[in-house]
Structure 1
Amino acid sequence: MNIPDAATGATGENNAFAADLLRGHTDTIVLGILRRSEQYGFEIYKAIRDATGGEHEIKEATLYATYRRLEKDGLVESYWGDETQGGRRKYYRITDAGRAVYRGNVAAWVATRRIIDNLLDVKDTKNG
């Protein structure tokens, strides 16, 4: 038996399903954050955590693998910051190619969400 999570009402299986869905969109999530401004690695981690009210965190190891992949694919560029205190930070910025991929991924997500909502007969989840 799956017991609902007190905070979300979701069962353990549903939480795993949601995590799988989110994991499939890590690149797009990171690109979306970098659209707003250049940021260093841990700052991106905090932005994701804070944007979800702590409901979702992406492991740092997963994020750093994502940064390397996005950079290799030419979707982000990195540079070392010139911090006067503390350790040096590696900053990331989105490229024009990254912006194009982000827009395409968001359009695909919106279309997919619309299709799934129609198939599940979801009218308005806020009103229940």
Structure 2
Amino acid sequence: MNDDAFSADLLRGHTDTIVLGMLRTGDRYGFEIYKAIRDATGGDHEIKEATLYATYRRLEKDGLAESYWGDETQGGRRKYYRITDAGRAVYRRNVAAWIATRRVIDTLLDAKD
């Protein structure tokens, strides 16, 4: 298994939390979230657009995000997403769970035989 496959595999289960995290600071349109994720990792990681759009639909269905159409003053009409209060609560819970999991994994990886 190469490093890229492993890191992508590890991140795959956290896509919803990553997107919610991107929305915490303000509303964003779909492709803007894609670029923000790519840029935040210095280009080392990208989440496929198809995966992101499936995530947006799931977050909306679950009441964690809402969407609306922006105006056309900056080019084409864009669909924007915003985090809901429920989404903020889920984000906080998921981050706390990640921190606890990371702590356990770090401990286990540092274990001596």
TM category (shorter chain) comes to: over 0.9
1:116 and 2:111 matched: no
Q: Quote the offset at 1:28 in angstroms.
A: 0.3
Q: TM-score, normalised by structure 1?
A: 0.83
Alignment partners' CA distance in 2, 1:47 and 1:61: 16
Correspondence for 1:4: none
User: Is 1:54 aligned with 2:37?
Assistant: no
For residues 85 and 98 of structure 1, the distance between their equivalents in structure 2, rounded to whole angstroms, comes to 28
Q: Percent identity?
A: 85
From the CA coordinates, give the structure whose radius of gyration is larger: 1
Q: Is there any run of 5+ residues in structure 1 with no aligned partner, and where?
A: 1-11, 123-128
Q: CA deviation at 1:70?
A: 0.2
Deviation at 1:85, TM superposition (A): 4.4
What is the CA-CA distance between 1:87 and the residue it aligns to?
Answer: 1.5
Q: SS in structure 2 opposite 1:53? A: coil
Q: Which residue of structure 1 lines up, in the alignment, with residue 66 of structure 2?
A: 77
* Structure 2: gaps of 5 or more residues: none
Per-residue CA deviation, residues 14-67 of structure 1 (Å, 9 max, x unaligned), is 321111111110000000000011000000000000000000000111100000
4+ residue segments displaced more than 2 Å: 12-15
The reply on whether 1:44 has 2:41 as its aligned counterpart is no
Q: Distance in 1 between matches of 2:104 and 2:74?
A: 50
Higher relative contact order (CA 8 A, sep 6+): 2
Using the alignment, how far apart are the partners of 1:17 and 1:35 within structure 2?
A: 27
Please show how residues 9-20 of structure 1 align to structure 2 within 5 Å.
Answer: 12-20=1-9
Alpha carbons of 1:85 and 1:113: their partners in 2 closer, same or farther (altered >3 Å)? closer
Tell me the TM-score normalised to structure 2 length.
0.94
More helix by share: 2
Cα RMSD between the aligned structures? 1.2
